[in-house]
Structure 1
Amino acid sequence: MLKRLPHPHVPAEHSPGGRRRAVELQRFLARLHDALEPVRPVPPVTLFVLDEHDWRRFTRLPYGYPFQRSKPGEGYGVFAPLRYPERLLERLTHVFAEAARRGGRLPGPLAVFLDLMIAHEYAHAVAVAWGLRARVRWVDEFLANYLYMLALHRTDRELYAQARAWAELASRLEPQRRSLGGFERYPRRPLGEQLWFQGVFTLEAARMIEENGDRFVRRLLEAAPLTRRDLHRKLLAAEPGLKAFFRVFGEKVT
């Protein structure tokens, strides 16, 4: 049976033996909540810290990589492993070693990178709560990176710099397919390709935050909802600098 840790903004539930990690992650996500709350109120997001047995009760996804489940009116949840399995760490080690051979270097322990992905998943939940789910995969991923980097920029510049460094390392990978359309068509991309996209998304988000703060998300909230029909126009209206970003993927910009 899961144990509960009450909190007004990030209530948590954890498997036996997971209290310490749950408390640490709860505090971490609570700081992100406080950073994003001035933009628009953020509803409670439940944190689940699970061992492999309890993980299977919630999902068929492989154990270890954080994920979220959120639906307006029904609740918002972020799922994190009690500990990262060796097989996941080995996969990431192999991919980032390839990036390092291209001139980068590891910014720190892989566990820190994966904990940053918990922040990324929390940001997904916030985007859903704010009505910013576009149902276009690359846009939803980009927004999650933007929101969690915005929160880190406001609360922890050292961790923000680490997140940026991980993104710079991932951007050194060489994906076979770079198009944003391909990102939609090939959801089961190799891990290295997924990390390349996330790295490039994060670096662009960092540029926007460092130049204009939270202007992008405030403009998107004014323009919501985000529908496929006018999504491209709304994105460029919120951030004209995205034109250059689109060219990285070979996209035509009008």
Structure 2
Amino acid sequence: MNDPVEIARHTEDVASAVGAARPLIETVAGDAVALAEQVERNSDDIGMLRQQAERLRTYDDVEPARILQSAMVDADTIDARLRRTGGQVDELRGDLDRAGRHLAEGSKAHAKLVDELGGPTPQTEQLGRRLQDLSGAVKAAHQSLDAADQCIRGARGSLNALIMTDLQADRAGTEAKIESAHTATRAGAASLGSELKNVTQRLEGVRPQLQGATAESQALAQAAHAALNPTPKSQQVAPGSASQSHAQSHRQDAPTRERDR
């Protein structure tokens, strides 16, 4: 207990873990809301399906199969876009998973630090609460990403049902399938955008804890290292003595530089 070497090691581990988690959390928070905005901008593509259904009602002289083929092309375009969005969600999840692992490592190091100190201190208690809040936010954001995946799968399922429709379907049945795909995809995209925004809100909500944990863990590590390597009294100088010594040396060197000229 109270081994300065172990204390210094644990504080350094906590600081390193928080330092590694912070950029990942901040990146996911920014990228998630950007992806949500991208999904909203792509809503016009989904609206094309509604237009195809309206064509079936308006143009009686056009074969349903021709309009259905156009709707299938639109559905395939939307499906490809959602597939790419799913890949981006996977990237966010990967970064979030790494952040979670760093925070878990930091929490373990924090527990060892508290044990080595013989119990919590006000500083370690506050840092511990911050680590718990951060881990909770990361977990909640992860749940929102999982929900976003479900939205994507649901929307893509509706689109693929349309894409696989029999071209010989009657006009009323074709219109119903296009409308169904439009409604389900629009709802899925709206829910997807909401879940992505939730990711950002959850992570932005703990930004003060993230900043505080970074500063406090670094301060603990610096204090621990200072205690491990104290400055010997023989090397300690009074405040201002270093600058005074430099000035005196400068005055002594000046005549020499004049003679050298």
Calculate the TM-score normalised by the size of structure 1: 0.23
Structure with the larger RCO, 1 or 2 (CA within 8 Å, 6+ apart)? 2
More strand, by proportion: 1
Calculate the TM-score normalised by the size of structure 2: 0.22
More helix, by proportion: 2
